[in-house]
Amino acid sequence: MKELTSTVRISGRPITDYVIVTASSPTSTETYSAENLKKYLDLALDADFAVINDTQPKGEYEILVGVTNRRPRNPELQSEEIEICATTGQLSICGGDDRGTFYAVLAFLESYIGWRWFGADTEVLRPQAAREIFAGEVVRRKPFFEYRNAMFFDATRNSEFKTKISMNTSISEDIKAKTGGSVDYSGFVHTFTYLLPEKEYFETHPEYYALRDGVRKPTQPCLSNPDVLEIVTKNALETLRKNKQAFISISQNDNQAYCQCEKCRAIDEEEGSPSGILLRFVNKVAEAIEKEFPDVLVDTLAYQYTRALPKITRPRHNVMIRLCSIECCFRHPLYDEQCEANQRFCKDINDWSSICDRIYVWDYCTNFCHYSMAQPNYNILRENIKYYAQHNVVGMLSQGNYNGKGADLNEFKSYILSKLYWNPFMSDAEYEYHITDFLEGFYGKGWRYIRKYMDILLEETADKHFGCFCSAVGNYERVYDRMDEILELFDKAYELAEGIQKDHVKLARLSAINIKLQILNTKEFAEGSPEKADRIAQKVAYYDECKSFGLRPMEWRPFSDDNEENLVNGCL
How deeply is 161 buried, as exposed, middle or buried, from its count of CB atoms within 10 A (0-12, 13-18, 19+)? buried
Q: What is the DSSP string of 51-120?
A: EEETTSPP-SSEEEESSBTTBPPPTT--TT-EEEEEETTEEEEEESSHHHHHHHHHHHIIIII-EEEEET
Mean pLDDT for 483-487 is 98
Q: Is the pLDDT of residue 1 over 60?
A: no
Answer yes or no: are the C-beta atoms of 37 and 15 closer than 8 Å. Answer: no
Half-sphere exposure of 164 (CA within 13 A, CB side): 22
User: Rounded to whole angstroms, how far apart are CA atoms 154 and 289?
Assistant: 35
User: Rounded to whole angstroms, how far apart are CA atoms 188 and 393?
Assistant: 19
How deeply is 229 buried, as exposed, middle or buried, from its count of CB atoms within 10 A (0-12, 13-18, 19+)? middle
Q: Is the pLDDT of residue 131 over 90?
A: yes
Give the per-residue pLDDT at 2: 63
Q: Is the pLDDT of residue 253 over 70?
A: yes
Give the per-residue pLDDT at 569: 84
Higher pLDDT, 567 or 261: 261
Q: Is 143 helix (H, G, I), strand (E, B) or coil?
A: coil
Q: Is 538 helix (H, G, I), strand (E, B) or coil?
A: helix
Give the per-residue pLDDT at 5: 61
Buried b (16+ CB within 10 A) or exposed e, 516-534: bbbbbeeeeeeeeeeeeee
Q: Is the pLDDT of residue 318 over 80?
A: yes
Domains, the chain, ordered by start: 9-142 (3.30.379.10), 185-313 (3.20.20.80), 447-569 (no CATH)
User: Rounded to whole angstroms, how far apart are CA atoms 538 and 509?
Assistant: 14
Give the per-residue pLDDT at 570: 77
Mean pLDDT for 11-36 is 97
**Statement: the pTM of the whole predicted model exceeds 0.75:** yes
Strand partners, 363: 398
User: Which stretches within 139-180 are classed as H helix?
Assistant: 153-157, 159-164, 173-176
Answer yes or no: are the C-beta atoms of 519 and 476 closer than 8 Å. Answer: yes
Mean pLDDT for 355-375 is 96
Give the per-residue pLDDT at 405: 96
Q: Is 125 helix (H, G, I), strand (E, B) or coil?
A: strand
* DSSP secondary structure letter of residue 527: T
User: How far from chain centre, in Å, is Cα 271?
Assistant: 33
